[in-house]
Structure 1
Amino acid sequence: HREFEKEAAELGKGSFKYAWVLDKLKAERERGITIDIALWKFETPKYYVTVIDAPGHRDFIKNM
């Protein structure tokens, strides 16, 4: 988490630090938007969880 926080701050995007967990593309990080879908799966003793990050901008909906 500190790595994302530092990198986001260096690009003037400190508030995006948690988005960078799934936004891996350089363009996503520079522009502060999601361009391609990403997912992260994990489980707890009680639940299976899938986090999905999808673009909301109309120019990138086709990537879904």
Structure 2
Amino acid sequence: IEKFEKEAAELGKGSFKYAWVLDKLKAERERGITIDIALWKFETPKYYVTVIDAPGHRDFIKNMITGTSQADCDI
């Protein structure tokens, strides 16, 4: 997280450090919005979990539908 915090601060977006864990595209980081879906997988002793970060901006509805259609639930 410290790496993301430093990189975000350099672009004047220090509060975006957690978003940058999954927002990898240069355009996403510069604009401060998610453009494409990103996945992060981990497992617990009982479950396999996939976190899906999907865009919420109206210009990327198709990408949001692609991401959310893969989910069993959302937060």
List runs of 5+ in structure 1 lacking aligned partners: none
Task: Using the TM superposition, give the Cα deviation of residue 44 of structure 1 relative to its aligned residue in structure 2, in angstroms.
Answer: 2.2
Percentage of pairs with the same residue = 97
Moved runs in structure 1, 4+ residues, more than 6 A? none
For 1:2-52, what per-residue CA distance to the aligned partner results, in whole angstroms no more than 9, with x for missing partners? 110100010111111011011000000001000001110001223322111
Number of aligned residue pairs = 63
By relative contact order (CA 8 Å, sep 6+), the higher-ranking structure is 1
- The TM-score normalised by the length of structure 2 is 0.77
The residue aligned with 2:22 is 22
Cα RMSD for the two superposed structures: 1.1
Q: Which residue of 2 aligns with 1:43?
A: 43
Distance 1:62 1:47 in 2: 29
Q: Name the TM-score, length of structure 1 as normaliser.
A: 0.88
Distance 2:40 2:56 in 1: 18
